[in-house]
Structures are given as C-alpha cells and as structure tokens.
Amino acid sequence: MTAVWKDSRVSGIATTRINPRWIDEESPRVVIDDIAARPSLHPHIITFANEKGGVGKSTLAFHVAIALAHAGARVVAIDLDRRQRTLERGLTYRNGTASNLGIALPTPQFGVLDHPSTAAIYQTINRLGADADFVILDAAGADSPVFRRVVALADTLVTPVNASFLDLELLGRVNPISGVPEHTGCFGQTVSELREEKFSREMGRIEWVVVKNRVRASEKRHINRVDDALERLAISHDFRIGQGLSERVAFRELFQFGLTHLDLPLIPDMIRPQASSPDEVAALIEDLGLKIEPRASLPLPTRPAARVLKRTRTDFRAALNAAV
C-alpha cells in the first residue's frame, strides 16, 4: 500500500503526495513488524523521546530511573545516545559518589547502546535485567530507524517540552488566533502512526505523556498561553500532560555527582533539600501513572568506601554541599 498524506501548507489547497518519511526501515508497518517478530519483553518500557534536542529527555530519564529505584523497583536504564552518553555518565558518577562516600544508593543497572539496532536493544535489556520492573530508554534527539523502534517499544512514552511554541510545533501547530490545532508536527506524526499501527495489531497501547520541563514561575502569562495550546494538542493527539520539573540550577549541579534531591537524605551530614524539589520528582512519577510494586527483599548495593584521604572526602562533601 502506498502511504499518502495531505498537505495544504503552501497554497491553502489540499494536495496529495507521497509522505517522504514513510520509507523502508522507517515505515510504521516495518517498525512494528520488527518488534512483533521478537519475543515480548516483560518489563514496563518507559521511553524518553522528542525529536527536539536539549528539552530535558536525559535529565528526566535520570530522575525517573532513580526515583523508581528509590521506590524499591528493579530498574534498567539504557542510553541510546552513544555520542553524548548523558544518562550513562550520570549513573557512572553516581557509583563514584557512593564509593567516595562509602554509602549505598539505590541505582539502576545501566548501559549504553554503542551500535544502535533493534537486536542490540533486546540484547542489552536481556543482559541487564530481563526480569526488571522498568526499562528506561533515553533516545537521542533526532529521528532514525532506531529512534522509531524505541518509541514503538514504549508502554509509556515521555516527551519533555520546554514552554515554547517553537518546541510545541514538533507535536503540532495551534493557530495563534483561533486556538485550533491545524497541523501535526513531525514528531507528533511519527508517534500517531506508530501508536495506530501497534494498537491495530493488538500489541498494546503506547501511553503518551507530554511533560513540561524547565518551567519558570516568572513567565506566568506566557506559560498560560502555552498551557492552553498544549491542552488543545492533548485532545487532538490523545496524550496526557505532566506538570514536569521547574528550572532549577540544582538539577544541573547535582548531575556532576550523579545525584538527585531524593538521595540527599541518605548522605550523612548533608544539607537537607528544599522540600519542593523532591516533591516535583514525586509528582512527575505520579503523572506517569506507573504501577510500582516495591520488591521488599531488594538489597541496596553495598559499596565499600573507596580508599581516599580524609581530606579528599571532606573536599568532596564541601563541593557537594555547594551544589545543593
């Protein structure tokens, strides 16, 4: 079957042409065929994806992975951005911090996909924990055949957006005068097609949650207008809206140590976090609507303190306190 779509953007007259995006490996049918041909995966898959770069996919993936580990779930986190490796780096720093301080921190099993392919995704999940409760997939911020497969694999798809109409247009354009959604954006179209194809084959529903990130209280009037547009798009594109994280320097600072605000109470003699930061992460988990069944018997990894000078440990703590 030839895929066609309507385009009236240029002349206002609807024209029909071949959708250039529906080719070979990227066609929704081929993407879903690829997944259907493989054994089904046990863990709940949470994919963080948006074709827009720099919106906070890795930051949110990192926080959600750690929050789920704190909640007692068994979590696997896979970084699909083999160049930036943000998620992998954050979790590596986390192990370094635990070791430097001689403390135990709930930490996901993690890895990076050096050679992205569907087979590699399945192999990595099976190697790191086929029996995990959750697999977190942090996609790179650009369309590709592998990008489409990790979107298609999602039970829950999380798309962070900044409060910018420019970002929203990748989901869809809302007419600024009438407030009516007019065009589906490139990422919105990809998600719609994959959801439809997956659902029609009775392979489950992709629950799509669009989460605002880096929200600044000072931009209230602008945010209200972005919220209105997002609500319109939520109806036309069938996604839920998550409140997301506000703009906080501490989210960036703590990354150097692989920590989140949820970890600070586990560190002896640490400054206590502002209550609202852990609350935001808890609200984010709530908005994702995940079913978390804590594994009571799950032991925290014991990490013997690294052999470091007392002075080094004191300096480490001082730098950490300065970051909170």
Ligand X SMILES: Nc1ncnc2c1ncn2[C@@H]1O[C@H](COP(=O)(O)OP(=O)(O)OP(=O)(O)O)[C@@H](O)[C@H]1O
Q: CB–CB of 155/57 below 8 Å?
A: no
Please work out the total of residues on this chain that contact ligand X, with binding judged by CB under 6 A.
19
- Beta strands 75-79; 134-138: pairing state: parallel
Q: Which is nearer to ligand X, 7 or 287 (CB)?
A: 287
Alpha carbon distance, N-terminus to C-terminus of the chain: 56
The binder of 225, among Mg ion, ligand X, none, by C-beta within 5 to 8 A per type, is: none
Residue nearest to ligand X (CB): 141
Residue 261 binds ligand X, judged by CB under 6 A: no
Nearest to 138, CA basis, from 56, 58, 245, 41: 58
Residue 260 binds ligand X, judged by CB under 6 A: no
Residue 57 binds ligand X, judged by CB under 6 A: yes
**Tokens in use for 280?**
């935001």
**Interface pattern 77-116 for ligand X (x via CB under 6 A):** ----x--x-x------------------------------
Residue 151 binds ligand X, judged by CB under 6 A: no
Q: Which is nearer to ligand X, 250 or 292 (CB)?
A: 250
Residue 189 binds Mg ion, judged by CB under 5 A: no
- Beta strands 156-162; 134-138: pairing state: unpaired
Q: Which is nearer to ligand X, 53 or 204 (CB)?
A: 53
**Interface pattern 113-132 for Mg ion (x via CB under 5 A):** --------------------
Q: CB–CB of 115/314 below 8 Å?
A: no
Strand pairing partners for 208?
Answer: 157
Q: Rounded distance, CA 322 to CA 36, Å?
A: 49
Residue nearest to Mg ion (CB): 58
Residue 179 binds ligand X, judged by CB under 6 A: no
The helix (run of H) or strand (run of E) holding residue 195 is helix 186-200
User: Residue 163 carries which side chain, given as an amino acid letter?
Assistant: A
The binder of 38, among Mg ion, ligand X, none, by C-beta within 5 to 8 A per type, is: none
Residue 58 binds Mg ion, judged by CB under 5 A: yes
Q: Which residues 6+ apart lie within 8 Å of 229 measured at CB?
A: 165, 168, 174, 179
Residue 58 binds ligand X, judged by CB under 6 A: yes
Query: CA quadruple 293, 151, 193, 223: dihedral positive or negative?
Result: positive
The binder of 242, among ligand X, Mg ion, none, by C-beta within 5 to 8 A per type, is: none
Positions in the binding site for Mg ion (CB under 5 A): 57-58, 86
